[in-house]
């Protein structure tokens, strides 16, 4: 009898040993095995999906036994989606090994992501570190952009590298921040389509696409999301239980006092303190807004930063950021994209030039008003001339056009007299109405034409006075960090020159908004108001010469600025002058900073030996009437 019991136990144990472990879902794997490191996480230690409950369904759709093939998330910042993607990578290494491709906007970003997220995750999680050999091991198969493991390999690349997108088949594909991808890559097509083509031979492929959105109509993640059933995360009111999507317009607070921000329930109007958020999130549920588009293969989710876990990005942070973006188009665009997780609608139509022309004022050119704190200059380079605008900036980003000049002469050749004439401008000072003397604080020179000559000119001056610039339509920030110029078109090396890339679409949209502003009834001016002297009509036609229009490229809308008046140099000059003010730090100035700038300038009567050269006015515009 005892022997029979022993035999049964042995057989049962043997059968249990043969039975495979139940396949974990991604969220279950993360809760059991993922360890957050101190390098990339503010909350190191064991991963807890309960901290971000809205990620559970999204991650589980990425599990190997779920029929979903494409998971799309349009999101705000600080909601944990990138870490959710890392969990999927860890799961794929440990539980469901396969060839996997992870794509960042650029190769540099892919390397940085590998160093600060992927490798630290592997090192901190024992279940992963035993499967991915250390980089220091010989023939480990572990490099910055490639991680080999039993049964598969993870390759990381940038959307700007065509070779990386066509180099391998992949069952799993992770596309991060797709709105920053180029729409056409080296003439080979859209990088998203190139990457998706790598998965075609796998019937159980998984494609995970996430991004903060950008411009309405031109946002890739928006287009992907709108082609799904569009799920939103509904949370219950702790008072009445009414389910609702968190919306910024439901926040209630007193401007300037953000410590008491509450959320007003759209059902019972009770004020909900943020301390209720953990319970609300844990009881939340994803609901499709377009149920007729439900599909087991394709799922789309939207998530704003208002869902950020308690202790991360708070409702108070959101209210403060919103108020600080008031009247500041770049900041409001950033808030809309990265907090609300929504697309931004650019000002596509130029204001009527006649309206701005009719608002001209009678102040004297080259005589800055007393409230001008500093001057910047934007220079546009043409074949036979340089055009430039000198702009004075005041508190609230109010501006005065101090002068617009056209320097005639060939711009080819570093020793051309027109470049010498431009250099003389840097020695000029402008006497303000109160006697203060203002130099040009920063000059930006467009390097899109005759780049070698522009670099040669700029390198003669300190980079705090003169900089080369280049416009980037798709750039989502006003000014990107400067990058070294390796070689000019003529083959000369300019390693000591750094070029500043400007988000011209953003700046033009801001400018067009400013140009529409009207004087307030009490004869004051709103923030951003632009003052102009008695320029002729051609200047104002040029200032409003472009319109934002969409064009289909590889199946996606791409917005481009199109000239509707041939002479757009005034617009380009103002864009560069505005960017120069941003580089100086104008967008961060406080009232105290403005007051300091107004009082620190030199007064003419205290420096009688300083004589400003006479200001020349070009007749170029009159010759082209």
How is 458-511 classified by DSSP, letter by letter?
HTTS-TTTEEEEEE-TT-SSSBPPPEE--B-TTS-B-TT-EEEEE-HHHHHHHH
Which pLDDT belongs to residue 621? 45
- Contacts (Cβ under 8 Å, ≥6 apart) of 280: 235, 236, 237, 238, 272
- At 68-91, the pLDDT tens digits run 999 999 999 999 999 999 999 999
Q: CB count, 10 Å around CB of 182?
A: 16
> Which range (59-63, 122-126, 165-169, 250-254) has the least confidence?
165-169
What is the spatial distance between Cα 500 and Cα 482, in angstroms, rounded to a whole number?
A: 5
Mean pLDDT over each residue of the chain, to the nearest integer = 87
For helices 569-584 and 504-515, what crossing angle results, to 10°? 100
Q: Where are the domains of the chain?
A: 26-242+287-303, 360-536+569-620
pLDDT at 413 over 60: yes
- At 137-178, the pLDDT tens digits run 555 568 899 999 999 999 999 988 777 777 689 999 999 999
Q: Which of 174, 138, 135 is nearest to 154 (CA)?
A: 174
Structure tokens at 204: 């159980």
Q: How sure is the predictor about 39, in pLDDT bands with cuts at 50, 70 and 90?
A: confident
Which position has the token pair 């991360």?
Answer: 312
> Which range (251-255, 453-457, 460-464, 545-549) has the least confidence?
545-549
The neighbouring-strand residues paired with 286 are 233
Cα-flanking dihedrals φ and ψ of residue 536, to 5°? Answer: -80, 175
Structure tokens at 193: 């389509």
pLDDT at 509 over 90: no
| Percentage of the chain exceeding pLDDT 70 | 87
- At 301-339, the pLDDT tens digits run 999 999 999 999 999 999 999 998 887 888 888 999 999
**Side-by-side strand order, sheet with 257-264:** 251-254, 257-264, 271-272
pLDDT at 622 over 80: no
> Which range (163-177, 352-366, 378-392, 411-425) has the least confidence?
163-177
The full length of the chain comes to 625
Q: How sure is the predictor about 589, in pLDDT bands with cuts at 50, 70 and 90?
A: very high
| Single pTM value for the model | 0.75
Architecture per CATH, domain 360-536+569-620, reads as: 2-Layer Sandwich (3.30)
What is the spatial distance between Cα 143 and Cα 207, in angstroms, rounded to a whole number?
A: 24
What is the spatial distance between Cα 390 and Cα 241, in angstroms, rounded to a whole number?
A: 59
Q: Which of 193, 189, 581, 140 is nearest to 392 (CA)?
A: 581
Which pLDDT belongs to residue 345? 81
Which pLDDT belongs to residue 18? 43
> Which range (244-248, 268-272, 487-491) has the least confidence?
487-491
CATH of 26-242+287-303, one of 3.40.50.300, 2.60.40.2580, 3.40.50.360, 1.10.3720.10: 3.40.50.300
**DSSP state, 151?**
T
């Amino acid at each position: 009898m005892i022997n029979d019991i022993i035999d049964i136990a042995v057989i049962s144990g043997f059968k249990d040993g043969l039975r495979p472990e139940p396949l974990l879902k991604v969220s279950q794997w993360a809760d059991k095995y993922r360890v957050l490191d101190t390098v990339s996480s503010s909350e190191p230690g064991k991963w807890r999906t309960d901290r971000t409950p809205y990620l559970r369904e999204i991650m589980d759709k990425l599990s190997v036994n779920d029929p979903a093939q494409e998971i799309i998330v349009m999101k705000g910042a600080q909601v944990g989606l990138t870490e959710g993607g890392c969990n999927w990578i860890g799961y794929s290494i440990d539980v469901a090994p396969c060839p996997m491709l992870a794509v960042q906007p650029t190769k540099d970003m892919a390397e940085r992501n590998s160093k600060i997220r992927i490798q630290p995750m592997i090192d901190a999680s024992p279940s992963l570190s035993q499967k991915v050999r250390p980089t220091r091991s010989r023939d480990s198969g572990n490099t910055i952009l490639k991680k080999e493991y039993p049964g598969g390999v993870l390759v990381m690349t940038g959307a700007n590298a065509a070779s990386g997108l066509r180099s391998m088949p992949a069952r799993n594909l992770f596309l991060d921040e797709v709105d920053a991808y180029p729409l056409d890559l080296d003439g080979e097509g859209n990088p998203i389509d190139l990457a998706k083509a790598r998965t075609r031979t796998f019937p159980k492929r998984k494609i995970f696409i996430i991004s903060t959105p950008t411009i309405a109509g031109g946002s890739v993640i928006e287009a992907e999301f709108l082609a799904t059933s569009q799920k939103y995360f509904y949370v219950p009111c702790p008072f009445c239980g009414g389910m609702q999507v968190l919306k910024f317009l439901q926040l209630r607070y007193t401007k300037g006092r953000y410590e008491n921000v509450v959320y007003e329930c759209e059902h019972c109007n009770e004020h909900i303190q943020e301390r209720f958020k953990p319970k609300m999130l844990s009881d939340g549920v994803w609901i499709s807004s377009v149920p007729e588009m439900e599909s087991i293969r394709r799922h789309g989710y939207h998530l704003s930063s208002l869902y950020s876990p308690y202790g991360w990005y708070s409702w108070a942070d959101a209210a403060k950021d919103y108020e600080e973006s008031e009247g500041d188009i770049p900041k409001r665009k950033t808030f809309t994209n990265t907090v609300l997780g929504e697309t931004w609608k650019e000002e596509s139509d130029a204001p009527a030039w006649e309206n701005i022309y009719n608002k001209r004022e009678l102040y004297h050119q080259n005589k800055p008003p007393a409230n001008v704190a500093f001057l910047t200059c934007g220079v546009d380079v043409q074949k036979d001339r340089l055009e430039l605008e000198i702009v004075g900036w005041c508190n609230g980003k109010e501006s005065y056009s101090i002068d617009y000049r056209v320097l005639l002469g060939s711009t080819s050749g570093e020793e051309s007299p027109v470049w010498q004439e431009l250099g003389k401008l840097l020695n000029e000072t402008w006497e303000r109405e109160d006697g203060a003397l203002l130099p040009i604080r920063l000059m930006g020179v467009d390097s899109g034409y005759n780049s070698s000559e522009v670099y040669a000119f700029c390198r003669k001056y300190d980079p705090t006075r003169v900089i080369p610039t280049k416009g980037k339509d798709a750039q989502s920030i006003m000014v990107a960090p400067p990058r070294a110029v390796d070689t000019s078109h003529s083959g000369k090396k300019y390693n000591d020159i750094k070029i500043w890339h400007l988000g011209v679409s953003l700046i033009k949209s801001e400018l067009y908004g400013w140009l529409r502003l009207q004087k307030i009834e009490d004869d004051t001016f709103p923030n951003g108001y632009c003052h102009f002297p008695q320029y002729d009509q051609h200047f104002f036609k040029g200032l409003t010469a472009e319109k934002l229009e969409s064009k289909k490229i590889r199946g996606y809308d791409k917005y481009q600025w199109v000239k509707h008046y041939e002479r757009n140099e005034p617009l380009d000059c103002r864009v560069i002058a505005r960017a120069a003010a941003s580089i100086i730090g104008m967008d961060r100035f406080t009232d105290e900073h403005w007051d300091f700038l107004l009082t620190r300038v030199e007064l003419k009567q205290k420096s009688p030996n300083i004589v400003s050269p006479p200001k020349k006015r070009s007749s170029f515009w009159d010759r082209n009437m």
